[in-house]
Amino acid sequence: MTDDVAIRTRGLTRCFGALVAVDHVDLDVPRGRVYGFLGPNGSGKSTTIRMLCGLLTPTSGDIDVLGLRIPAQADALRHRIGYMTQRFSLFEDLSIRENLEFMAAIQGVPRERAKSRVDELLRRYHLDDRQRQLAGTLSGGQKQRLALAAAVVHEPELLFLDEPTSAVDPESRRDFWDALFDLADRGTTLLVSTHYMDEAERCHRLAILDRGALVADGTPDDLAAALDGRTFVVDAPDTRAARNALDGREGVLSAAQIGHVLRVLMRAPGNGSTLDHALRDANIDARVSAVAPNLEDVFVAATRDRTRQDATA
């Protein structure tokens, strides 16, 4: 594995009985970047992260993390990574400082370094004015900042975050992502799973998982650019009638109402004439305009195209 790659997998597979939770996934996660996992619940994101951490043994495939073979060298990896789960998992009956001091001890931070490191994290994550407050009394955003501080108390090279913002408000989510980019700027590699499109768009690079399979991988801009010529907006007096006219039409992959217009994704690039014809056939007077593709279009194209291929296989 080259020095610029933090994680590499080849053919990574995990089965639970007859269920294939992760299906021959190949990943290359660059160092010092925020790499996103996008996918619905049940897509295999958490299972993949657990295998990368050495917490779950793959059914087959190869895993290299920070130059170590996983799971064989998982013990050597443990102090080089951090792991933040979706659910708050610190001690609610301990104070903020006590939680961080305990995590520093668990992670083997030398005692002479631990105090200054905890002080540093309390300031960085704006918790120093309430460091004696019990963790159980914190707001969702404060708990999130504490959990992040605990996950990086030992200054890991690689940080795994499994849907870390699912229980906080939009402002706290924005502040949290600022903190993640600060870590990346300091050289930490971050792998973040999410089902929020706006969060996925923030990542330097992104993998989309669907039913355990990797269906797209690239920068958000590159993934969206690959759909140029396939996305249109339809403005019609009766939006629902327009949707009914286009839904299931040959060449139309999806037609979704966004406010008073339809956003339409085609199976192949074109000039919108297919949509014009379909609407005229339904006696609907509408304006069809090409628009730039976004990450939601990428997700729909990746997952629905695969569903169609599976159905015709």
- How would you label 119-153 residue by residue, b for 16+ Cβ within 10 Å and e otherwise? eebbebbebeebbeeebeebeebbbbbbbbbbbbb
- Verify that 119 and 43 share a domain, yes or no: yes
Total residues found in the chain within this entry: 313
pLDDT of residue 311: 43
Q: Tell me the pLDDT tens digit for each residue of 194-242.
A: 888 888 999 999 999 999 999 999 999 999 999 999 999 999 999 999 9
Of 150, 185, 218, which marks where a domain is finished? 218
Using the predicted structure, report yes or no on whether residue 161 has a pLDDT greater than 90: yes
- Verify that 147 and 269 share a domain, yes or no: no
Whether 5 is in a domain gets the answer no
Whether 78 is in a domain gets the answer yes
pLDDT of residue 3: 76
What lies within 8 Å, CB to CB, of 251 at 6+ separation is: 266, 267, 268, 270, 274
| pLDDT (mean) for 111-121 | 95
- Verify that 211 and 188 share a domain, yes or no: yes
pLDDT of residue 313: 43
Higher pLDDT, 310 or 99: 99
Rg value, the chain, Cα: 23
Residue 264: give its domain's CATH number. Answer: 3.30.70.100
pTM over 0.85: yes
Whether 6 is in a domain gets the answer no
Instruction: Please name every residue paired with 29 in a beta bridge, in sequence order, or none if there are none.
Output: 7
Using the predicted structure, report yes or no on whether residue 306 has a pLDDT greater than 80: no
Q: What are phi and psi of 54, to 5 degrees?
A: 85, 10
- Verify that 285 and 231 share a domain, yes or no: yes
Three-state SS string over 106-118 comes to HCCCCHHHHHHHH
pLDDT of residue 231: 97
Using the predicted structure, report yes or no on whether residue 310 has a pLDDT greater than 70: no
- Verify that 254 and 170 share a domain, yes or no: no
Whether 19 is in a domain gets the answer no
- Verify that 306 and 240 share a domain, yes or no: yes
Of 218, 247, 279, which marks where a domain is finished? 218
Using the predicted structure, report yes or no on whether residue 307 has a pLDDT greater than 80: no
Whether 213 is in a domain gets the answer yes
CB 189 within 8 A of CB 18: no
Of 175, 203, 218, which marks where a domain is finished? 218
- Verify that 167 and 299 share a domain, yes or no: no
- Verify that 164 and 49 share a domain, yes or no: yes
Whether 68 is in a domain gets the answer no
- Verify that 114 and 248 share a domain, yes or no: no
| pLDDT (mean) for 96-112 | 95
- Average pLDDT across the chain, whole number: 92
pLDDT of residue 163: 86
Q: Tell me the pLDDT tens digit for each residue of 83-100.
A: 998 888 889 999 999 999
Residue 52: give its domain's CATH number. Answer: 3.40.50.300
Whether 107 is in a domain gets the answer yes
Higher pLDDT, 62 or 305: 62
- Verify that 209 and 78 share a domain, yes or no: yes
CA quadruple 304, 305, 309, 310: dihedral positive or negative?
negative
| pLDDT (mean) for 246-271 | 93
pLDDT of residue 92: 93
- Verify that 127 and 246 share a domain, yes or no: no
Into how many domains does the chain fold?
2
Helices of type H across 125-190: 140-151, 170-185
pLDDT of residue 312: 43
pLDDT of residue 87: 80
Domain of residue 282 covers: 225-312
CA geometry: angle 27, 33, 34, nearest 5 deg = 80
